Amino acid sequence: MRITVAEQPVGRLSDAWRLAVGTGRLDLALRRDYQDSLALVQREIGFRYIRGHGLLSDGVGVHRPYEYRGRRQVRHAFGYLDQIVDAYLELGVRPFVELGFMPSGLASGEQTVFWWRGNVTPPRSHTEWADLVRTTVGHLVDRYGLDEVRGWPIEVWNEPDLKEFWQDADADAYHRLFEVTAYAVKDVDADLQVGGPALSPGADDGWLPRFAEFVTDRSVPIDFVSRHAYSSGPAQHVPFGVHQTLAPAQRLLEQFASPRRLLAGTALADLPVHITEFNSSYRPDNPVHDTAFHAAYLAPVLAGGGDLVDSFAYWTFSDVFEEVGIPTTLFHGGFGLLTHRQIRKPTYHLYAFMNRLGTQILARGADHLVTRDDTGRIAVLAWAPVDLTGGGPVDGHAVRLSLPVTDPAARTAFLLRSSVSEESGNAWRAWCELGRPPSPTARQLDVLRQAAEPARRHGSLPVLAGRVELDLHLARHEVTLAEVSPVVDETPPWWDERRLLGGEPS
């Protein structure tokens, strides 16, 4: 069946998909390969904010207690933090500030998370914690300017509903931390944005309403609400990796919608909602992130998520990521859109395709999104349905559209189509076919870079009665971007193809 796309827009495409992206712990930003990867991401996609763990952990070195003449004192050192933020700003991305984890010199216990040992216990002194927050935020304001830092969201902690990320998942202890932190931030400037609670997908439905009740009853300042969204099941461990079942992608959109559903009727109902982490799996060692399947799986989430929230941040942009240890192969199995050597993955290309869409939505369906920009160019993002059982991936799926052409003088339209699938733009598949080398040779890296490029084709489509018929036949796990532009024919009158080889003109 052919879908007739109306000429008048039905809405505007939100940029919520591009507002923020996740990263590994912040001190990784001191590495050259990390900065090179982020530079490429910013050049080709252009995120506005970046969020990662560990700003206050020992690796960044902000909190430095010492003893002098028998008295304990604290020095706040910002050398690493300045280098990190400077690098971000030079690359055109701003911090989405996450305040955590606990510096060891301030921690009330020894419980940690991740290979790099982020401490997840409450502060031994809330007064000292408040001073740490106030001094850190104040330093950022002094260095980068109040107007600039007022635009940086400041999030309090990460997934406090999970005992792995907050000791005993103690809600009361988190509420106290949030209150102390929010007031410390506002002490620097009342217009700075502070929010939370950055809940995990597994948080019970009572966690967020209880948090809303607490901040309302105590008049604690809050400017936005945050949570996370993942769709993977329990981990099936193998050496240096895991495999997991996945829920349908619609489950991610349901999680996006959850905060506004749970906060309806509360004082927090109208606050911005940020999904500060989302993905299929939360595990960096799950290889599903590298596959063409993954791009097709997430396509409907990127196409529709902006209707539900103010931002949703892919976790994470790069395989320079060490939550479960140092990567053992070129493909970390990672959350990353890139590998260490800037070899693009199918999900990266999905984001790059999103960047080519227009702002006017003309139509949307279960397998496509049709947009138009101010020049009249129509961009269609289409994707093949996925089979979550792995038993029968869909091949040959068709999307048939009738598209309006705004230029009444156009007799033809130019089609540029870019695709990733099992066969195209798929460095993971090429790596598997090369025997999964853990340390590819220079020649193998060249092969992988070439294999990572999307398949591109072009053609001319006739315009009949102001419309173009576009038939997209999608291969297994294919995501395609079809760009249709009206053509102004400027061919000189003496041109004749037969003269290329010296033939006689017609």
Report how far Cα 376 is from the mean position of its chain's Cα atoms. Answer: 28
CA–CA separation, 422 and 429 (whole Å)? 7
CB 219 within 8 A of CB 268: no
Burial of 265 (0-12, 13-18, 19+ CB in 10 A): exposed
Between strands 94-95 and 49-51, the pairing is parallel
Per-position b or e across 193-224, b if 16+ CB within 10 A of its CB: bbbbbbbbbebeeebbeebbebbeeeebebbb
CA–CA separation, 393 and 477 (whole Å)? 7
Distances (CA, A) of 216 to 158, 209, 211, 379: 21, 10, 9, 45
Known catalytic residues?
159, 277
- For the chain, report the end-to-end CA distance as a whole number of angstroms: 41
CA–CA separation, 399 and 395 (whole Å)? 12
Instruction: For Cα atoms 400, 298, 421, give the angle at the middle one, nearest 5 degrees.
Output: 60
- 3 state DSSP class of 272: coil
Closest Cα partner for 486 from 421, 406, 419? 406
CA–CA separation, 141 and 189 (whole Å)? 9
Element spanning 12, H or E: strand 11-12
